[in-house]
Amino acid sequence: MVTVRGGDMLTNAAPGVLESSPVHAALEAGIARDYEIRRYYLRLEECQRLRLWMQRIWHPETFTWTKRGGPPKECSVTKMRRMELDSLGFGESFYQHMIHEEKEAKRELERLAEGHPLWPHFMHVAGIGLYLCGAFVAAGGDIRQAPRVSSFWKGMGLDVLPDGTAPRRIRGRKDVDRRIPALPHVTRVGEQIRQQIVRRPGTRLNQIYQDEKETYRRRYPERPKMWAHKHGLRIAQKILYACAWREWRLAYGLSAPDPYAFDILKHDSGRLVRFSDIYDD
């Protein structure tokens, strides 16, 4: 932070924006709202995690058992576990409390998301409702820390390796080699968005995915089909994220330069995709 003539202050977060200006006030209000969205999203995740854990123990007949094929049989160990959990305060009342807290956290998350500047855009994209809009904002974090779209992609788990390729598992290596691995909740939000892209044929994002997948298969016919699938998904996802990043930054009075290929290399700007280009209504 530095002082300029007249005593006004400039912040590092938004260069050129005076602290006393309406633009700065709107920025601070937006950042505060983003913080609350992230807080309620993480609260919702924790409530959901605890509720599912308790549901498997106290109400296994209502739990969706995808691996076992059905709830485990009742036995003396199960009864003893319930007795001990109840004595520790993790009984039926705690389970019901988690159900209530989960609903309240989701309701508050959606209320905050409805007032976010990204919602007027996301509401036109099939498959992205208030919950997923709030989850996206929570995953995006502090938008001031992403001055270029490449920075935003990296923070959202869409970074590239030093050789320019997407992070991937390589035979013989235990972990994926990544410079900045995405946080777990960021990865989960990305997976939810990818599912919406794949499961909704006929939408704009799904069409981008299909087109890019076919282009990849024609260019590299010898490569596995899964690679083409992941390539198409990654392109569609990066386009969505770039559109959201731009509108998010502009809404807060921050600069939003075009991606490197268009801003620096001066590629044909006619290929730039804006949010309105992926609206489904």
Q: What does the pLDDT look like over 1-10, one tens digit per residue?
A: 333 333 333 3
Residue 263 has pLDDT above 50, yes or no: no
Dihedral sign, Cα of residue 66, residue 68, residue 72, residue 78: negative
C-alpha to C-alpha distance for 127 and 268, rounded to whole angstroms: 30
Looking at residue 164, what is its pLDDT? 55
What pLDDT is attached to residue 171?
60
Residue 9: φ, ψ to 5°: -115, 145
CA 96 to chain CA centroid, Å, is 28
Return the pLDDT at 116: 97
- What phi, psi does 2 have (nearest 5°)? -130, 155
Phi, psi angle pair for 66, to nearest 5°: -85, -25
End-to-end CA distance of the chain: give it in Å, rounded: 44
Give the residue-averaged pLDDT of 155-168: 68
- Is the pLDDT score of 212 beyond 80? yes
61-100 pLDDT, tens digit each: 888 877 666 777 888 888 898 999 999 999 999 999 999 9
Instruction: State yes or no: pLDDT of 247 exceeds 90.
Output: yes
What is the tens place of the pLDDT at every residue in 118-135? 999 999 999 999 999 999
Model confidence at 106: pLDDT above 50? yes
Mean pLDDT of 167-175: 59
The closest of 90, 127, 135, 129 to 202, measured between CA atoms, is: 127
- Percent pLDDT > 70 in the chain is 77
| pLDDT score for 133 | 96
- For tokens 């308790």, what's the residue? 54
In 3D space, the residue among 109, 115, 107, 110 whose CA is nearest the CA of residue 26 turns out to be 115
CA dihedral angle for residue 27, residue 29, residue 32, residue 33, rounded to 10 degrees: -110
pTM as predicted = 0.81
- Give the pLDDT of residue 78: 85
- The answer to whether 22 and 73 are in contact (CB under 8 A) is no
* Residue 112 pLDDT > 50: yes
Of the pLDDT bands very low, low, confident and very high (cuts 50, 70, 90), residue 252 is: very high
Report angle CA 188, 279, 206 to the nearest 5 degrees: 55
H/E element, 207: helix 204-219
CB atoms within 10 A of CB 78: 13
